[in-house]
Chain A
Amino acid sequence: MNKEAAVYRRKKLLKYLLIHAVIITVVVVCVYPLLRILSISIRPGDRVISTDLSLIPSGADFAAYLRLLKDTMFLRWLWNSLIITVVTSFIGVSLASTAAYAFSRFKFPGKKSGMILLLSTQMIPAGMLILPLFLMIMKLGLMNTYLGMIIAYSVSSLPFSIWILKGYYDTIPRSLEEAALVDGTSQIGAFYRIILPLSTPALSIAFLFNFTTAWNEYLVARVVLFSAKQYTWTLGLFELQGQYITQWGMFAAGSMLVTVPVLMVFLYSSKWLLSGLTLGSVKG
């Protein structure tokens, strides 16, 4: 009896260790490239290109960061990205918030087909619309400007935002608005004073989704922006990396500066984003 229990316990321990070993291996594969960027970014200038694998190189310093901030337009690129992204997200969320309210609270002809239309826009390959958007922006004379970029980005996350917000509005009980209506507010007043404040979490998630999509975008920026001064950070980093051998350290430094805040925001919001992604399907 005792022996059997010991065997059982040993088996269990073995399984436990095995699981940890496998997961830790995968974790290393997932995290290692990020650590490598970090270690390359703090390598001293004369040893950026080396076959050294140690994570903290000897003689580590922050020279690459300083050079990046001083010799390149990295801050300017971040600023460009920030302006484009904030305005895009602001427009996207404001349009989505009212449209989602209509879908959530009203019955009207075309409601179902409107929702299906929103879903089907997701089937259009994103890469497919770059060419016509590029030509439109060119014809409007907005090449190499913030406005061109904002126009190109502003509706790309709209269908998804409408879906998340509608799902969230649906969970707010109607009785709240009805009470306000009895007290004499208009429907719009009820929306602004009750629904919007209550859905701050969903609004911020929609904002974050819009924000990350535009913040990480590369392909449209590549064709619309052509002077280094107007670059977003994605284009800037690509340029640095393109000149591979010489500026690898600066590329790594820039990557770290961009990645760390994005990672933090993502980890904070990932649960929400995911529930938004799967909400419709699980309910269906």
Chain B
Amino acid sequence: MDILYSIYEVLWFVLIVAAGIAAIEGYFYYHFKLHDRKWFMAVSAVFFPLAAVLLCRYVGLVQGAGSGELWAWFFITQVIINLFFKHIIKGRFSLPYMLLAPAFVGLALLLVYPFVFQIYLSFHDLKLTTIMAWKNTGHLPFVGIQQYINVFTTSPLSEVSFWALLLRTVWWTFINVFFHVTGGFALALLLNNNIRFKGIYRTLLVIPWAMPQVVAVLAMRGEFHSQYGFVNIMLGKLAVAFPALAAMGFGPVQWLSDHPLATCTLINIWLGIPFMMVVILGGLQSISSSYYDAADIDGASYFQKLRYITVPLIRPVLMPAVTLGTVWTFNNINVIYLVTGQSGGTERADILVSALYKAAFTYNRYSYSAAFAIVIFAILFFISVFYLKTFDAAKDER
């Protein structure tokens, strides 16, 4: 019965989406094909704003007051759109725009609008005590840049400060990407030799990447358990086997409670190496062997070949992979939240994004986290621009 109901619910939704797409296409069709009719301006200036206002009321985005103002806004927008289509577009390019319309309307509603909404939130005060009022009336107190000041002066969680988080994030990103790239590079070099079982090795090596991340992280978290995880069992056995090591303080460690960040880092390194390995291996295989043959004739050593042939030639593959890897690592909430996110979890392993998630959904400080998110976005934006610049510079060198 439940299953039937869920199918019904989903079919209904698919129907709504189809109707939405039809409406969007109809809207564009009208503007592209009928723009030279006499009644074009008059009909659309009345009909579309009215439909939009009714839709907004029906969905519940606007309650009670404000419809008149909304109608005026829609009217002005519609007139501008009409003039644009009548005098500038004149029915050209109708097909590509109509093909693009559904995708871009979707992106605008679910990607651009949330982003703008986030900026709006960051200048207002939405928290647990004001959320009911906001839900019912849509009104929020304006607080200016107070939230941004709070981000830098108060802790996003309960004790750790913004600056400590920033430092930790940089450290976390650097360590992870460093080990991902060097580990992936070393493995790819080994696999690129002419050896037996290469295909099997490659398949087995990508397993950490291929497993669902939630399963991989939770399973590894279990393996770091102080008593029953295999990491500590192995450490304990090693300490028994080599008393000299044990004498130096080597032995089982309380991973989750004493070293949460180290645990997360180890898990994430384990997760991230396969991706880099596969990317770099693809790059290595595309290098023609004639370069190496020529270098052999000149008597180049292994490291010379590595330095002057391999590294420069896989650079075009490596750079985008490293950029992607950096952004992914910087944004990695999953690993840290799954390891430390349960109630009573520590905040000593949190990086910026995981603190953002916790500030919003564990501490329910919505506007604060909106401002926090904008700050993180700005940081990431500068990093990306910096990366792209260095990438371009490297391109010019070649």
| Residues of B close to A2: CB separation below 8 A | none
Interface contact A79-B342, CB-CB below 8 Å: no
Interface contact A136-B114, CB-CB below 8 Å: yes
Interface contact B207-A99, CB-CB below 8 Å: no
Extra A-B contacts (16), CB below 8 Å, given A106-B99, A132-B117, A267-B206: A23-B191, A33-B208, A33-B216, A36-B223, A53-B233, A76-B2, A105-B96, A127-B333, A127-B353, A127-B357, A129-B114, A223-B361, A229-B2, A255-B219, A263-B210, A270-B278
A138 at the interface (CB under 8 A from B): yes
A residues with a Cβ closer than 8 A to B are: 16, 19-20, 22-23, 26-27, 29-34, 36-37, 49-51, 53, 76, 79-80, 83, 87, 90-91, 95-96, 98-99, 101-103, 105-106, 108-109, 111, 114, 118, 121, 123-136, 138-141, 145-147, 150-152, 154-155, 158-159, 162, 187-188, 215-216, 218-219, 222-223, 229, 234, 237-238, 241-242, 244, 248, 251-252, 255, 258-259, 262-263, 266-267, 270, 274, 277-278, 281-282
B394 at the interface (CB under 8 A from A): no
Tell me the B179-226 residues at the A interface (CB within 8 Å).
187, 190-191, 193, 195, 201, 203-208, 210-216, 218-223, 225
Interface contact B210-A267, CB-CB below 8 Å: yes
Interface contact A125-B60, CB-CB below 8 Å: no
* 5 contacts across the A-B interface (CB closer than 8 A): A23-B190, A34-B207, A132-B113, A267-B203, A278-B321
Known A102-B99, A133-B110, A241-B222: A26·B205 in contact at CB below 8 Å: yes
Interface contact A124-B204, CB-CB below 8 Å: no
B227 at the interface (CB under 8 A from A): yes
**Complex CA distance for A136 and B118, rounded to whole angstroms:** 11
Listed residue (B59, B187, B215, B331) with the most chain A CB atoms within 10 angstroms of its CB: B215
Interface contact A53-B230, CB-CB below 8 Å: yes
A-contact 0/1 string along B222-253, CB 8 Å cutoff: 11010110100100000000000000000000
Chain A interface: which of B28-36, B159-167, B375-383? Answer: B375-383
Known A34-B211, A138-B135: A79·B3 in contact at CB below 8 Å: yes
B309 at the interface (CB under 8 A from A): no
B274 at the interface (CB under 8 A from A): yes
Interface contact A128-B210, CB-CB below 8 Å: no
Nearest CB to that of A141 among chain B residues? Answer: B60
Interface contact B207-A36, CB-CB below 8 Å: no
Interface contact B195-A16, CB-CB below 8 Å: yes
Nearest CB to that of B278 among chain A residues? Answer: A274
Interface contact B228-A125, CB-CB below 8 Å: no
Interface contact B6-A146, CB-CB below 8 Å: yes
| Residues of A close to B206: CB separation below 8 A | 266-267, 270
**Complex CA distance for A277 and B278, rounded to whole angstroms:** 12
Interface contact B93-A109, CB-CB below 8 Å: yes
Nearest CB to that of A131 among chain B residues? Answer: B360
Nearest CB to that of A142 among chain B residues? Answer: B13
Interface contact B60-A99, CB-CB below 8 Å: no
**Complex CA distance for A174 and B218, rounded to whole angstroms:** 49
**Complex CA distance for A151 and B114, rounded to whole angstroms:** 12
Nearest CB to that of B366 among chain A residues? Answer: A131
B115 CB, nearest partner CB in chain A, Å: 6
Interface contact B377-A132, CB-CB below 8 Å: no
B79 at the interface (CB under 8 A from A): no
B95 at the interface (CB under 8 A from A): yes
B173 at the interface (CB under 8 A from A): no
Interface contact A146-B10, CB-CB below 8 Å: yes
Interface contact A135-B117, CB-CB below 8 Å: yes
| Residues of B close to A281: CB separation below 8 A | 316-317, 319-320
> How many residue pairs, one in A and one in B, have C-beta atoms under 8 Å apart?
259
**Complex CA distance for A218 and B338, rounded to whole angstroms:** 9
**Complex CA distance for A162 and B7, rounded to whole angstroms:** 28
Interface contact A237-B204, CB-CB below 8 Å: no
Listed residue (B6, B135, B210, B282) with the most chain A CB atoms within 10 angstroms of its CB: B210
A-contact 0/1 string along B271-286, CB 8 Å cutoff: 0001000110010000
Interface contact B103-A162, CB-CB below 8 Å: yes
Known A79-B3, A95-B103: A49·B97 in contact at CB below 8 Å: no
Interface contact A30-B205, CB-CB below 8 Å: yes
Tell me the B60-96 residues at the A interface (CB within 8 Å).
60-61, 93, 95-96
A141 CB, nearest partner CB in chain B, Å: 7
Tell me the B15-62 residues at the A interface (CB within 8 Å).
17, 59-61
Interface contact A129-B115, CB-CB below 8 Å: yes
Tell me the B306-348 residues at the A interface (CB within 8 Å).
316-317, 319-321, 324, 327, 330-331, 333-334, 337-338, 342
Interface contact B135-A147, CB-CB below 8 Å: no
Which 9 pairs of residues, A with B, have the shortest CB-CB distance?
A132-B114, A99-B103, A106-B96, A102-B99, A266-B210, A281-B320, A102-B96, A108-B93, A95-B103
Interface contact B17-A91, CB-CB below 8 Å: yes
| Residues of B close to A126: CB separation below 8 A | 331
B263 CB, nearest partner CB in chain A, Å: 14
Interface contact B99-A98, CB-CB below 8 Å: yes
Interface contact B99-A99, CB-CB below 8 Å: yes
Known A36-B219, A128-B376: A87·B14 in contact at CB below 8 Å: yes
| Residues of B close to A278: CB separation below 8 A | 279, 282, 317, 320-321
Interface contact A19-B195, CB-CB below 8 Å: yes
Known A27-B205, A30-B205, A114-B100: A130·B384 in contact at CB below 8 Å: no
Tell me the B101-126 residues at the A interface (CB within 8 Å).
102-104, 106-107, 110-111, 113-115, 117-118, 121, 126
B349 at the interface (CB under 8 A from A): no
| Residues of B close to A222: CB separation below 8 A | 361
B270 at the interface (CB under 8 A from A): yes
Interface contact B117-A83, CB-CB below 8 Å: no
Interface contact B204-A27, CB-CB below 8 Å: yes
Tell me the B127-182 residues at the A interface (CB within 8 Å).
135
**Complex CA distance for A223 and B396, rounded to whole angstroms:** 46
B369 at the interface (CB under 8 A from A): yes
Nearest CB to that of B211 among chain A residues? Answer: A259
A124 CB, nearest partner CB in chain B, Å: 6
A87 CB, nearest partner CB in chain B, Å: 6
A223 CB, nearest partner CB in chain B, Å: 5
